[in-house]
Amino acid sequence: MAARLQSVRGTHDILPEEARKFRRVVETFRAVAERYAFGEIATPIFEFTEVFSRSLGEATDVVTKEMYTFTDRSGDSITLRPEYTAGIARAFLSNGLQQETPCRFYAWGPMFRHERPQKGRLRQFHQLDVEIIGVAEAQADVELLALAYDLLSELGVADKVTLELNTLGDHESRARYRDALVKYFSAHVSTLSEDSRARLDKNPLRILDSKDAGDRAIINNAPLFTDYLNEASLAFFADVKRGLEALHIPYKVNPRLVRGLDYYTHTAFEFTTEALGAQGTVLAGGRYDGLIEELGGPATPGVGWASGIERLSMLIGDLEPGPRPIAVIPVGAATQEVAHIIAHDARRAGHIVDMSYRGNMGKRLTRANKLRARAAVIVGEDELARGVIVIRDLDAGTQTEVPRDRLVAALDAFR
Ligand code: ATP
Ligand code: MG
């Protein structure tokens, strides 16, 4: 039986044109992150399942429905990473980096979530990620938001996004708010969705993140976190807002903003856009002061964000075309070898060279034009016998003969 020749639902192939945009996003990210003195970290694509189940929270969508979990040949339960933070926190502990705080990491790579695929929502997607581990001050949150804002500005999309900001408070505020939510949602339990009913005991805050339309109507009248924040939480939030204002980073407080994972405290934020339809969150994150302890390490504060590369690529639109190649076209079998040497020399001199192999001259010139070649080097038998090569200026439609030994130098005019 023939193999099923299609990619698995929710996965896609990144062809060269899209790969350029992808690379633009990653390279811009790398440059900005390095400027903020972050160091690159790469963690494995899979981890022991408990790294995610313990840190993300048992009642979250990611853990209950979206993880790609399997038992490997050693009998271990393994999960393809659905997000970066848990793995980076695990790496922080397994490499004994507690002595080296603060740690400032950046990373990018593929993530895996078994969700319902739609535009901007894939099962294998890619994220950019930054984390500051070991800083309890609000300035770290501000710095990470500034990094995000610089990245979006450099990608030319800052004016298409809104920074939505909220606080989830410290543990005490959260416990008080939790009680208020349980009281409120318990009164509406018969109309809540099944998922939300299940969350009522485990983590009622998660109900606020529900996408169910019926739930949304109930959520609209739910108590607001703002009314349950203690002094310390309010002061922390005020510091974040003041820091953003000092850097002229625009934001909008959204008291309804909650994040999908359990480990967040204090700052929660999302950069959202209207330009991508339903999947409008391009970058999201917050503070996770309890996470590392949850994983079995010493109490260590942390803050970070992640951004979907596919969503950023869609947002940046088409790129200006890249540098133009030179097409080397041998005419006749006897010129093949010389053509290859010419291509080789030109590449070593820094030119982008496309080598054509067969087809009549017309076809090959058509291909050269399709590649947006700036010039064609036509290696003909007669010319070669005279020690010359033809360079055709594909923009002007003119051609000149150049001595073989001056060819590569002559190509400089077509860079
Ligand atoms: P959503 O509410 O869209 O499901 P989320 O809260 O699950 O997002 P995070 O876990 O915060 O998302 O991930 C950070 C970013 O990664 C998102 O803002 C988005 O840009 C991107 N992202 C998340 N899930 C997907 C996916 N399935 N496909 C493509 N990008 C995604
Ligand atoms: Mg999600």
Length of the chain: 415
Instruction: State the pLDDT at residue 59.
Output: 64
* CA of residue 108 to ligand 1 center, whole Å: 14
Instruction: State the pLDDT at residue 303.
Output: 97
For the segment 237-243, the average pLDDT, to the nearest whole number, is 98
Nearest by Cα to 159 from 244, 304, 274:
274
pLDDT at 335 over 60: yes
Domains of the chain: 16-170+230-316 (3.30.930.10), 326-414 (3.40.50.800)
* CA of residue 94 to ligand 1 center, whole Å: 27
Pocket test for ligand 1, best of 12, 14, 311 (most atoms within 8 A of CB): 311
105: helix, strand or coil: strand
Ligand nearest to the CA of 283: 1
Name every protein residue with a CB atom under 6 angstroms from any ligand 1 atom.
Answer: 83, 113, 115, 120-122, 125, 127, 260, 279, 281-284, 306-308, 310-311
Share of the chain above pLDDT 90, in %: 82
pLDDT at 1 over 60: no
Report which ligand 1 atom has the smallest distance to the Cα of 209. 2
Residue 125 CA, distance from chain mean position? 8
Atom 24 (ligand 1) nearest CA: 121
Instruction: State the pLDDT at residue 261.
Output: 67
Query: Of residues 39 and 198, which shows the higher confidence score?
Result: 39
Atom 11 (ligand 1) nearest CA: 284
Residue 23 tokens read as 């690379």
Ligand nearest to the CA of 259: 1
What distance in Å separates the CA atoms of residue 145 and residue 162, rounded to the nearest whole number?
A: 12
Q: Residue with structure tokens 């109930």?
A: 218
Atom 8 (ligand 1) nearest CA: 281
For the segment 331-348, the average pLDDT, to the nearest whole number, is 94
Instruction: State the pLDDT at residue 358.
Output: 82
Query: Of residues 263 and 13, which shows the higher confidence score?
Result: 13
* CA of residue 281 to ligand 1 center, whole Å: 7
* CA of residue 337 to ligand 1 center, whole Å: 52
Atom 20 (ligand 1) nearest CA: 308
Instruction: State the pLDDT at residue 296.
Output: 92
What distance in Å separates the CA atoms of residue 229 and residue 172, rounded to the nearest whole number?
A: 8
**pTM of the complete model beyond 0.85:** yes
Pocket test for ligand 1, best of 125, 131, 211 (most atoms within 8 A of CB): 125
What distance in Å separates the CA atoms of residue 103 and residue 132, rounded to the nearest whole number?
A: 6
Confidence grade of residue 311 (pLDDT, cut at 50, 70, 90): very high
Ligand nearest to the CA of 25: 1
User: How do strand 265-273 and strand 281-287 relate by DSSP bridges?
Assistant: antiparallel
